[in-house]
Chains A and B, each alone.
Chain A
Amino acid sequence: MHTDKGFNTILYISGIIILVLVLGIFMSLTLNSLPSIKAFGIKFFTGREWNPVSGEFGAFPFLVGTLLTSFLALAISIPFSFSISILLGEYQKRGVFSSFLNTTVELLSGIPSIIYGFWGLFVLAPIIRSFELRVGLPPYGVGIFTSSIILAIMIIPYSASLGREVISLVPGDIKEAAYSLGATRFEVIRDVIFPYARSGIFAGFLLSLGRALGETMAVTMVIGNANILPKNIFAPGNTMASVIANEFTEASGNLYLSALIEIGIVLFIVTALVNIIGRVIIKKMGYEGEN
């Protein structure tokens, strides 16, 4: 009896510690961004000028940069992660090829983000640059598009693994029932597996999106660090995480610092919002008994 009670207490305490931690982070962020909230109010989210000299701080370019790169990265990664999930979950559940592909995909998630940044800067950017030269755009090399590609590669493993799991959990008997009625493989995937695994696959995409929203190091090396609204997809821009990484250590002056912290809080809230909306959609999509 003692061990049971002790064990329960440990569980509850761990849970409470996490809650307190998250609450503490949120509160200290809010407290430190109060000067900026008081000075700018709603204008902070619509202001396009980030000017440390004049003290005018508007975070709209960073909001746009974050959302643009993250959603674009998700869009680029979806075909790949979806295909990998089906391949590994349905076609090649066992075998040498399957374990090789599995390991490689999971390796992708283990690569440190700064390595992705280096690769992006030294390998991908020159490729994009020569493309831009050929079509007559300014040859930045870095920019929104380059960072979206890097992010896409980084987030593939998250949705691929989760997708693979839920697809492989589709009960064999309903698949066999479909086959016995004369369905082709593609029809089984489209009409049996996909509706069943829909919410799990979507949850995987959500996980990927959450990762992309907060990614800092890889993005800051290839996004071009221009604190202005990107003119087109090949132009440089900046994201919320990247601008904090760039300017935090040297921000002098209370307003500057608290404006950066306010960006931190906005990022926090945007990520939380995306997660909440995602959960609502997952619930609506899910079958009964689905986790």
Chain B
Amino acid sequence: MLKIIKIFFLTSALLGGIGLYGGNKNIEILGAGATFPYPFYSKLFDVYHEESNIKVNYQAIGSGGGIRQLLNKTVDFGATDAFMSNEELEKAPAEIVHIPTCLGAVVVTYNLPNNPQLKLTPEIIADIFLGKIKMWNNERIKAENPDTKLPKWNIVVVHRSDGSGTTFIFSDYLTKVSKEWKEKVGRGKSLSWPVGLGGKGNPGVAGLVQQTPGAIGYVELIYALSNNMPVGIVKNKSGNYIVPSIKSVSLAANVQMPADTRVSLTNTSAKNGYPISSFTWLIVFKEQNYNNRSKNRAKSTLNLLWWVIHNGQEYAEPLHYAPLPKEAVEKAEGVLRSVTYNNKAILK
């Protein structure tokens, strides 16, 4: 009997010790959401930890997941490439604000022999993902790429299986350029894809495309570049064939940005802008005193966000994301200054 009591006390002491250790750490800021900017955030939070000794724990679970976790109040900030719509914002328990952090490109990548760089038009892209163009040696693709030898292979479409902001950006673009896409599929983070395999996250899609001969999928630019996968050159609204790059993405951002920073850049009218570009946002509650959040935690979160839109921007280009244009930074500052704790602004 005594032995059992001794073991019991030992175990609870051990567990208590672990609990105490866990409780004594610094504030750890929790974020979750998009995989689109994950390489950028990963680098940012690493640098931030070195500079300020505050750990940021970011889980790349997809934009849909990021929004959900913020609404569930389990994270300090969410990350999404699909800004919340007016309906979604109305349904939220409190007001939510968006802070843009960088720009990225959704590229069309594929697996063909010799990794050719293909020219693609919006109509061809829409019809491939609708399942109407089934073979790589289709006449229309050949017409755009007369010098490339296209094999007689099946086109294997790869899309996202999880709720994704990347999907939202891609489908937002296709909705604007294809009436059939608009009617049959529409825009959203989760879609009813007419054809294709589903991969989990940007890495999942990149992986499937890499492994499957004849596959075509859509991923954020860095995922294609870091895996040495070819990237499609897309014809934009002005009729120019644009290679996705930091420059062409920044050019696409030449649009009027509203004060709440929610704006879509797809199918941009900028002459040399890449047509499938987008901002990506971090979202927080406007009033930070919820669920017994401490003022300290709210301040730490806001300091992190302020740092991201200023000092953090220098880390965007090396990872092939476009830094925020000046106008976006100003609007983002305005949004951050509007975030309050007990109705008093946190940042001066």
- Which residues of A have CB within 8 Å of B197? 140, 142, 224-226, 236
B163: nearest chain-A partner, CB-CB: A250
A-binding segment of B59-67, B230-238, B269-277, B323-331: B59-67
The 0/1 profile, CB within 8 Å of A marked 1, for residues 160-194 of chain B is 01110000000000000000000001111111111
B213 touches A250 (CB 8 A): no
Interface centre among A125, A133, A220, A246 (most CB of B within 10 A): A246
Instruction: Report the Cα distance A104→B342, complex, angstroms.
Output: 63
Contact with B along A17-54 (1 / 0, CB 8 A): 00000000000000000000000000000000111111
Contacts of B63 in A (CB 8 A): 250
Which of chain B's residues have a CB closer than 8 A to the CB of A50?
A: 192
* A49 & B192 in contact (Cβ 8 Å cutoff): yes
Contact of A250 among B62, B156, B185, B186 (CB under 8 A): B62
B186 CB contacts on chain A under 8 angstroms: 53-54
Counting CB contacts under 8 A, is A200 at the interface?
no
Name the residue on B nearest A256 (C-beta). Answer: B190
Are B154 and A227 in touch, CB under 8 angstroms? no
Question: B161 touches which one: A52, A125, A225 (CB < 8 A)?
Answer: A225
Task: Tell me whether A52 and B198 are in contact in the complex, defined as CB-CB below 8 angstroms, given that A139-B212, A252-B67 are known contacts.
Answer: no
Which residue of chain A is the closest to B91 with respect to CB atoms? A253
Contacts between the two chains (Cβ within 8 Å), count: 101
Q: Which of A49, A224, A228, A252 contacts B163 (CB 8 A)?
A: A252
Interface residues on B, range: 20 to 34
- The answer for the CA separation of A148 and B337 in the assembled complex, in Å, is 55
A276 to B336, CA, bound (A): 59
Is there a chain A Cβ closer than 8 Å to B200's Cβ? yes
Per a CB cutoff under 8 Å, which of B163, B196, B200, B208 touches A251? B163
B208 to chain A, nearest CB (A): 8
Tell whether, in the assembled complex, residue B192 and residue A138 are in contact, meaning their CB atoms are under 8 Å apart. Answer: no
Answer whether A141 and B211 are a contact pair too, CB < 8 Å, given A225-B198, A251-B64.
Answer: yes
* B68 at interface by CB-CB < 8 Å: yes
* Majority SS at the chain A contact face: loop
Across the interface, do A250 and B65 meet the contact criterion of CB distance under 8 Å?
yes
A49-B192, A125-B211, A139-B213 are known contacts. Are A252 and B161 too (CB-CB below 8 A)?
no
Report the bound CA distance from A136 to B68 in whole Å.
43
Could you tell me if B161 and A246 are in contact, using CB atoms closer than 8 angstroms? yes
Q: Which of B88, B186, B188, B198 has the most CB of A within 10 A?
A: B198
Chain B: minimal CB distance from A54 (Å) = 7
A129 near B196 with CB under 8 A, answer no
- The answer to whether B199 has its CB under 8 Å from any CB of chain A is yes
Cα(A141)–Cα(B215), bound, Å? 11
- Asked if A249 and B154 sit within 8 Å, CB to CB, the answer is no
The distance in angstroms between the C-alpha atoms of A54 and B211, with both chains bound, is 32
Closest to A133 in B: B213
Assess whether B192 is in contact with A224, with CB atoms less than 8 Å apart.
Answer: no
Tell whether A224 pairs with B65 under 8 Å between CB atoms, given A52-B190, A53-B188: no
Instruction: Report how far A50 CA is from B187 CA in the complex, Å.
Output: 15
Nearest CB on A from B34, distance (A) = 11
Contact A250 B189 (CB under 8 A): yes
Interface residue A126 (Cβ < 8 Å from any Cβ of B):
yes
Q: Can you give 5 contacting A-B residue pairs, CB < 8 Å?
A: A138-B156, A225-B198, A226-B195, A246-B162, A250-B62
Residues in chain A within 8 A of chain B (CB atoms):
49-54, 56, 125-126, 129, 133, 137-142, 220, 224-228, 236, 238, 246-247, 249-252, 256
Apart from A129-B212, A227-B193, A250-B62, list 5 A-B contacts with CB within 8 A. Answer: A52-B189, A129-B211, A133-B213, A139-B213, A251-B68
